[in-house]
Chain A
Amino acid sequence: MSKSFSVVTGGTGYVGLALVKHLVSKGENIRLFLLEDHPCLEGIECEKFIGNICNPEDVDKCLEGAETVYHIAGVVDISGKKEELMWKVNVGGTRNIVESCKRQGVRNLIYVSSIDTYPDKFGTEEKTELSHYSEVGLTSGYAITKAIATQIVLDAKDDLKVCCVQPTGVLGPDDYMGSSLGAMMDLFIKGMFPVSMNFGRYNFVDNRDMAEAMYNAVKMGKSGECYILGGEVITVDELMGYMAESLGRKKPTVKISKGLLKPFVPLISKAMDLAHLPPMLNKFSLSKLEENCNFSNDKAKRELGFKPRPAFETVRDTVLWRQNRLKGTA
Chain B
Amino acid sequence: MKYALFTGATGDLGRCCIEEISKLGDWTVFAGGTNDEKLAQLGEIENVIPIRLDVTSDESVEAAYEIIHSHTYRLQAIVNFAGIHVFTSMVEGNCVEEIDRMLQVNVMGMVRVNKRFFEMVRIGRGRIINCSSESGWMTPQPFNGPYTMTKYAVEAYNDSLRRELMYLDIPVIKIQPGSFKTQLTNKIFRDFDKCIENTNYYSRILTTMKPMMTMELGLDHDPKKLAQKVILALTSPLPRTKYKVCTGKLLMALELLPDKAVDLAYKVVVHA
| A and B interact | yes
Residue numbers of A with Cβ under 8 A of B are: 83, 87, 91, 135-136, 144, 148
Contact call A83/B125, Cβ cutoff below 8 A: yes
Residue numbers of B with Cβ under 8 A of A are: 73-74, 119, 122-123, 125
Q: Which of B73, B122, B125 contacts A91 (CB 8 A)?
A: B73
Q: Which residues of A contact B123 (CB under 8 A)?
A: 135, 144
Q: Which residues of A contact B74 (CB under 8 A)?
A: 87
A87-B73, A135-B122, A136-B119 given; name 5 further pairs at CB < 8 Å. A135-B73, A135-B119, A135-B123, A144-B123, A148-B73
Q: Which residues of B contact A135 (CB under 8 A)?
A: 73, 119, 122-123
A57 to B74, CA, bound (A): 25
A135 to B123, CA, bound (A): 8
The chain A residue sitting closest to B118, CB to CB, is: A136
A140: shortest Cβ distance to chain B, in Å? Answer: 10
11 residue pairs from A and B, CB less than 8 Å apart: A83-B125, A87-B73, A87-B74, A91-B73, A135-B73, A135-B119, A135-B122, A135-B123, A136-B119, A144-B123, A148-B73
Q: Which residues of B contact A87 (CB under 8 A)?
A: 73-74
Q: Which residues of A contact B119 (CB under 8 A)?
A: 135-136
A148 to B74, CA, bound (A): 11
Q: Which residues of A contact B125 (CB under 8 A)?
A: 83
A251 to B249, CA, bound (A): 75
Q: Which residues of A contact B73 (CB under 8 A)?
A: 87, 91, 135, 148
A148 to B124, CA, bound (A): 13
A91 to B74, CA, bound (A): 12
The chain A residue sitting closest to B168, CB to CB, is: A139
The chain B residue sitting closest to A80, CB to CB, is: B125
The chain A residue sitting closest to B125, CB to CB, is: A83
A91 to B73, CA, bound (A): 10
A144 to B73, CA, bound (A): 10
**Cβ-closest 5 pairs across A and B:** A135-B123, A144-B123, A148-B73, A135-B119, A136-B119
The chain A residue sitting closest to B122, CB to CB, is: A135
A83 to B125, CA, bound (A): 10
A87 to B2, CA, bound (A): 13
B206: shortest Cβ distance to chain A, in Å? Answer: 51
Q: Which residues of A contact B122 (CB under 8 A)?
A: 135
Which residue, A83, A135, A148, has most C-beta atoms of chain B within 10 A? A135
The chain B residue sitting closest to A138, CB to CB, is: B123
B6: shortest Cβ distance to chain A, in Å? Answer: 22
The chain A residue sitting closest to B74, CB to CB, is: A87
Q: Which residues of B contact A136 (CB under 8 A)?
A: 119
A172: shortest Cβ distance to chain B, in Å? Answer: 32
A251: shortest Cβ distance to chain B, in Å? Answer: 40
A136 to B168, CA, bound (A): 13
A83 to B119, CA, bound (A): 16
B162: shortest Cβ distance to chain A, in Å? Answer: 19
The chain A residue sitting closest to B73, CB to CB, is: A148
A145 to B73, CA, bound (A): 10
B34: shortest Cβ distance to chain A, in Å? Answer: 29
Which residue, B73, B74, B122, B123, has most C-beta atoms of chain A within 10 A? B123
B186: shortest Cβ distance to chain A, in Å? Answer: 44
B23: shortest Cβ distance to chain A, in Å? Answer: 23
Q: Which residues of B contact A91 (CB under 8 A)?
A: 73
A176 to B125, CA, bound (A): 33
A148 to B120, CA, bound (A): 12
A241: shortest Cβ distance to chain B, in Å? Answer: 39
The chain B residue sitting closest to A148, CB to CB, is: B73
A135 to B122, CA, bound (A): 9
A145: shortest Cβ distance to chain B, in Å? Answer: 9
A308: shortest Cβ distance to chain B, in Å? Answer: 32
A135 to B73, CA, bound (A): 10
A136 to B122, CA, bound (A): 10
A288 to B122, CA, bound (A): 21
